[in-house]
């Protein structure tokens, strides 16, 4: 139900909209959508309550939204500008942008051809559907061993930041892919094989909630050396643990094998948990 063909992935399924906190890795929101909707569909309605929560409830006023080119729509820019939120979003290349990038390119004729070459710049740009000009950060890159340069365009309202910083921050967006992978492989957020949309949506939310519970436990309870553990590692070392149940004098005890390899890690976590 509501599972349609997605041309980008060339398959039938859903196209969920998700947001993560890049610092903590926590889910900020998720919305299950039909497979044939465009990436930015309902993004303003999805993000505005999240932004308001940070501003009004948490009183956090320095926010930055980062997204790929599927979210490069003026409605999102205007939402961020309305609330004073910074944004870094990739733009899809077009003829105007490519001509601008080419005109701004000043190559070093003596740069070794076998080494990657990069140049950065900034310019103002206004697409036909935009209500004003906005700042675009440009990276012109020629991979080592190649001849042609490939431009990357990122739109932002952080005009005072240098292009190198903006581009680097955008490229760190790949961290979100790791969060999504963990949610799918570790918590089965994508187990949406029911014929009913509402059941698939409930399964997605079970995955989201389970993911956040483990994230909070890692943040509050796990020592620094264990905070980057995936749920697969946590299951193997802390949850799927062989024990012997012993009842004595009205008390029930769980005895671990003294040869248990991760005994120190286990007690480190359980001791911290017991303090809550």
Q: Which tens digits make up the pLDDT trace of 194-204?
A: 889 999 999 99
Residue 78 counted as domain residue: no
Looking at the DSSP assignment, which residues form a beta bridge with residue 13?
A: 4
The residue among 42, 46, 48 whose CA lies nearest residue 63 is 48
For residue 41, the model assigns a pLDDT of 94
> What tokens does 20 get?
């993560």
**Contact at 8 Å (CB) between 207 and 13?**
no
Find tokens 């910083």 and name the residue.
165
pLDDT(67) > 90: yes
> Based on the structure, what is the number of domains in the chain?
3
Q: Evaluate if residue 10 carries a pLDDT over 70.
A: no
Cβ density class 81-95: b for 16+ within 10 Å, e for less: eeeebbbbbbbeeee
Average pLDDT of every residue of the chain = 92
Helix pair 74-83, 43-52: axis angle to 10 deg? 10
Q: Judge whether residue 247 has pLDDT over 50.
A: yes
Residue at which a domain ends, from 156, 172, 188: 172
Indicate if the pLDDT at residue 246 is higher than 80: yes
Please give the backbone phi and psi of residue 127, each rounded to the nearest 5 degrees, phi first. -75, 165
CB-based burial, 43-63: b 16+ in 10 Å, e otherwise: bbebbeeebeebeeeeeeeee
Residue 145: pLDDT band (50, 70, 90) is very high
Query: pLDDT confidence of 5, banded at 50, 70, 90?
Result: very low
- C-beta of residue 34 within 8 angstroms of C-beta of residue 14: yes
* CB 145 within 8 Å of CB 113: yes
Q: Do 166 and 179 belong together in one domain?
A: no
> In this structure, is residue 151 part of a structural domain?
yes
Q: What is the pLDDT of residues 93-143, one digit of tens each?
A: 999 999 999 999 988 888 999 999 999 999 999 999 999 999 999 999 999
DSSP SS3 for 121: strand
* Confidence category of residue 223, pLDDT binned at 50, 70, 90: very high
Do 150 and 128 have their domain in common? yes
pTM of the model: 0.87
Q: Which domain holds residue 254?
A: 227-274
Residue 69 has pLDDT above 90, yes or no: yes
3-state secondary structure of 4: strand
Whether 214 shows a pLDDT value over 90: the answer reads yes
Residue 190 lies in a domain: yes
> Does residue 122 fall inside a structural domain?
yes
Residues 204 and 251 in one domain: no
261 belongs to a structural domain:
yes
Mean pLDDT for the stretch of residues 151-155: 98
- Are residue 237 and residue 110 in the same domain, yes or no? no
Of the three residues 172, 202, 235, the one that is the final residue of a domain is: 172
Residues 200 and 168 in one domain: no
Share of the chain above pLDDT 90, in %: 79
Q: Can you read off the two tokens belonging to residue 102?
A: 């080419």
């Amino acid at each position: 139900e509501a599972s349609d063909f997605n041309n980008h992935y060339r398959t039938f399924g859903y196209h969920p909209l998700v947001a993560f906190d890049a610092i903590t890795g926590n889910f900020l929101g998720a919305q299950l959508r039909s497979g044939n909707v465009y990436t930015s569909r309902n993004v303003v309605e999805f993000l505005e309550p999240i932004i308001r929560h940070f501003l009004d409830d948490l009183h956090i006023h320095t926010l930055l939204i980062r997204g790929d080119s599927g979210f490069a729509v003026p409605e999102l820019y205007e939402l961020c500008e309305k609330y004073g939120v910074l944004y870094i979003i990739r733009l899809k290349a077009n003829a105007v942008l490519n001509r601008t990038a080419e005109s701004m390119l000043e190559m070093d004729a003596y740069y070794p051809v076998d080494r990657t070459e990069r140049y950065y710049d900034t310019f103002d740009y206004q697409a036909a559907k935009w209500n004003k000009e906005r700042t675009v950060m440009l990276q012109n890159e020629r991979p080592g061993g190649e001849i042609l340069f490939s431009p990357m365009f990122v739109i932002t309202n952080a005009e005072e930041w240098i292009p190198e910083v903006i581009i680097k921050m955008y490229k760190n967006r790949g961290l979100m892919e790791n969060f999504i992978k963990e949610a799918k492989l570790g918590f089965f957020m994508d187990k949406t094989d029911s014929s009913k949309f509402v059941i698939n949506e409930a399964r997605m939310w079970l995955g989201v909630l389970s993911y956040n519970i483990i994230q909070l436990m890692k943040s509050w309870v796990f020592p620094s050396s264990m905070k980057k553990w995936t749920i697969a590692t946590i299951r193997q070392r802390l949850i799927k643990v062989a024990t012997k149940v012993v009842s004595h004098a009205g008390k029930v005890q769980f005895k671990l094998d003294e040869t248990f390899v991760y005994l120190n890690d286990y007690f480190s976590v359980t001791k911290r948990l017991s303090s809550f």
